[in-house]
Amino acid sequence: MISSLSFINQKGEILIYRVYKDDINRNEIIQFCAKMIATKENKESPIINIDQTSFIHISIKDIIILATTKIDVNVAMVLEFLYQLTKICKAYFQGNLDENCIRKSFVLIYEILDEVLDYGIPQIADANLLQKFIQEGGIQQETTINIERLRQLTYTLTGAISWRPAGLYYEKNEIYLDIIESVNLLISRKGTVLRSEVVGSIELRSKLTGMPECQIGMNDKLLMGKQARYNKQNSGITIDDMKFHACVGLPKFEKDRIITFIPPDGHFQLMSYRISENINIPFKVNAFYSEIRENKLEIRLKIKSIYDQNIYGTNIIVKIPVPKNSVNVISASSIGKAKHEVEEQSVIWRIKKLQGDVEISLNCEIQLGLTTREEVWSKPPLKIEFQIPMFTASGLRVRFLKVMEKSGYRTNKWIKYLTKGGEYQHRL
C-alpha cells in the first residue's frame, strides 16, 4: 500500500517522514522535493511516477502531504486518506495545520501516523476516536491501567459501531440538526445558467444517552413516492446523490429511503447531498463593462435578491474583477460599501444585510494606468459570497426526525437551515 508518508513545507524541507515499507528511500523523497516542490511543478499533477515510484500528494495551504508507493495502489483511497489525515491533524491543532504546529507537535504526529496506518494500510482515521487514546504528552496513566476502559476502547475501535462508545449518559437529551447548503452556480456572459448545483450537508450534534436509533425523512421525491398518501402537487424534490456517514445503514436506505442511524457522540456530518434540478437561484445579476474613454472603464452592476421578502441575506460580498492596471476607482452604491482591493484585483462590495425581493446597484468608474506591455486581461468571473438563514436553495426540508432508545426518554430537537454561496460565479 503506502510505502512512506511525509509532510513537506514549501521550501521542500521534510518535516515528518515515516516509512512503512522498505522499498523507498529518503533520497527519492528528497529528489521529489527538489524537483517538484521547489520548482512548483507539483501544481501540474498530484500523481506522478518517477522511476517506478508513484508520488501522490495533496497541498494544504503551505504544507504538502506526500504518500509514495511502488504498487498499483487504490489511489482514490490514498487521496481520501490523506485528506482525512489532515482533518485529524486539524482536530488536534484546533483547526490549524501549518509548519509551526507540525514542528511543535511532530512527536504527536508520528504517534498518529503509527495508528492510522499499519504497513501503509489505512486502519482508523476517526479523529474523535484517536483522541481518546492519543494525546499530546501521553494519555493519563489511569486510562492505561483501567482494563475495562481499554477493552471498551478496543471494542469500539474495531466494532460494528466503531463511531459510538457505549455507556454515554446525558441529563438532558438533545439533538441539533443543521442543514447547510452551498450554491454552486456558473452563469454565462449572456446570462444563461451553465451549471447550477447545490451541495448540501446535514450536520448533527447529538447529546444522547445510550444507543439511540435515529430516523430522518426528507421531502425526497423517492421517499414521498413510496409513501403514497402524498398527492402529486407535493411530490418532493429530486436529490441527485447522497453520501452518508458510516453510521447510516446503507442497505436499509436502499430499501425504504429512510435514513436510519445510531449517531456518533457530539458533532459530525450525517450526510452530504447534491441537487441539480429546480434550484432557487437567490440573486439575479446584471453587469455591464464599457470602455467609455481610452484608459477609462465603467462598470454598472445590478443585483436583485429573488428570495422571499421575509428572509434576509447576510454578509454578502460581491467580488467584481477589474484589470491589474486599475489605478483610481470611484464607486457609488445604493447599499453597503464598495472598495477597490489591489491584491484581489477586484472591487469588493460588502453588504451586511439584504432583504428579499430588493434590487441594488453599484456604479464604478475605473482609471486604467498605462502599462508597458500589452497583456490580455483574462476577465475572471464575478463572484458572490453570501449566507441566507432559513432558506434552502434546493427546497429541501426535513419532514421527520425520530429518536428511539430502549429507555424511551424524550429528546429536544433543534433544526436550522442555511444557504451559502459556494462557487457562485458570473462570467463577464
Partner 1 sequence: MSRPSASTSSSSRSSRSRYGKEVKELQDALNQNKIESKRDAIRKIIDAMTRGKDVSMLFPDVAKNMETSNLELKKLVYLYIINYAKIMPDLAVMAVNSFRKDARDKTNPFLRALAIRTMGCIRVKLITEYLLDPLKESIKDEDSYVRKTAAICISKLYDVSPELIEEQGLLKLLENLLNDGNAMVVANAVCALLIVQESKGTTMLQLNPYTIQKILTAMNECNEWGVIYCLDALAMYIPEDGKEAEAILERVSPRLNHNNPGVVLSACKIMMKFLDYLQNPETIRQNALKMTAPLISLLSLGKEPEIQYVALKNINLIIQKRPIIIEKDIKVFFCNFNDPIYIKLQKLEVLSKLANNDNIQQILHELKEYTQEVDVEFVRKSVRTIGRCAIKLEKAAEKCVTALWECLKTKVNYVVMESIIVIRDIFRKYPRKYEMILKDLCENLKSIEDPEAKASMIWIIGEYVDTIENADSLLGNFSENFKDEPANVQHQILVAVMKLFLQRPNDGKELIHNLLKTATIECENPDLRDRAYIYWRMLSTDPELAKKIVFTERPTISDSSYTIENELLDKLIENIGNLSSVYTKKPESFVKKLRDVLNSKIADKIDDVYDQDQLMEGRPEDYSDQQGGSSNINENNYETSSQIQSQIQQSQVQQVTQKIDLLDLDENQPQQQQSQQQQQQQQLPTQQIQQPNQFQNIKIPFAEVLNSNTPGSQAQIQGLQIEAAFQKYGDKIVLDLKFTNKTQDKTFSAFGIKFNKNPFKLQPDAIEIQCQPVFPGSTQIAQSSINTNGPALEEPPQMPYKIQVALKTNLDVFYIFIPMSLSVLFSNTASITQQKFIELSQAQNMARKQEVLQIQIDPLKMKEKLERNYFFLIGVRKDERGVELLSYAATLVNGMPLLVNVIHTPTAINLQLQVPHPTLMPLLYQAIGFILTLN
Instruction: For residue 346, give the amino acid letter.
Output: S
Q: Is 415 one of the binding residues for partner 1 (CB under 8 A)?
A: no
By CB under 8 A, tell whether 105 contacts partner 1.
no
3-state secondary structure 370-425: CCCCCCCCCCCCEEEEEEEECCCCCCCCEEEEEEECCCCCCCEEEEEEEEEEEEEE
Would you state the cell numbers that stand for residue 264, as one nine-digit string?
Answer: 456518533
CA distance 423 to 186: 8
Q: Does 142 bind partner 1 (CB under 8 A)?
A: no
- Which helix (H) or strand (E) covers residue 215, if one does? strand 213-218
Per-residue DSSP letter, 327: E
Binds partner 1 (CB under 8 A): choice among 9, 10, 35, 106: 106
Q: Among 15, 306, 311, 317, which residue interacts with partner 1 (rule: CB under 8 A)? A: 15
The answer to the question of residue 80 lying near partner 1 (CB under 8 A) is yes
Contact positions with partner 1 (CB under 8 A) in 269-298: 269, 271-272, 274
CB of 318 to partner 1, least distance (A): 16
Length of the chain: 428
13 C-beta neighbours (distance < 10 Å), count: 13
Contact range with partner 1 by CB under 8 A, out of 133-141, 222-230, 344-352, 385-393: 133-141
- Name the one range near partner 1 by CB under 8 A: 77-85, 209-217, 279-287, 402-410: 77-85
Residues 181-220 that bind partner 1 (CB under 8 A): 182, 184, 186, 188, 194-195, 197, 199
Binds partner 1 (CB under 8 A): choice among 38, 99, 111, 174:
111
- Contacting residues for 245 by C-beta, under 8 A, at least 6 apart: 163, 261, 264, 268, 269, 270, 271
Q: Do residues 341 and 350 make contact, with C-beta atoms less than 8 angstroms apart?
A: no
| Residue 34 engages partner 1 in binding (rule: CB under 8 A) | no
Residue 54 within binding range of partner 1, rule CB under 8 A: yes
CB of 147 to partner 1, least distance (A): 5
Nearest approach, Cβ of residue 325 and partner 1 (Å): 15
127 touching partner 1, by CB under 8 A: no
- Told to check if 22 binds partner 1 by CB under 8 A, we report yes
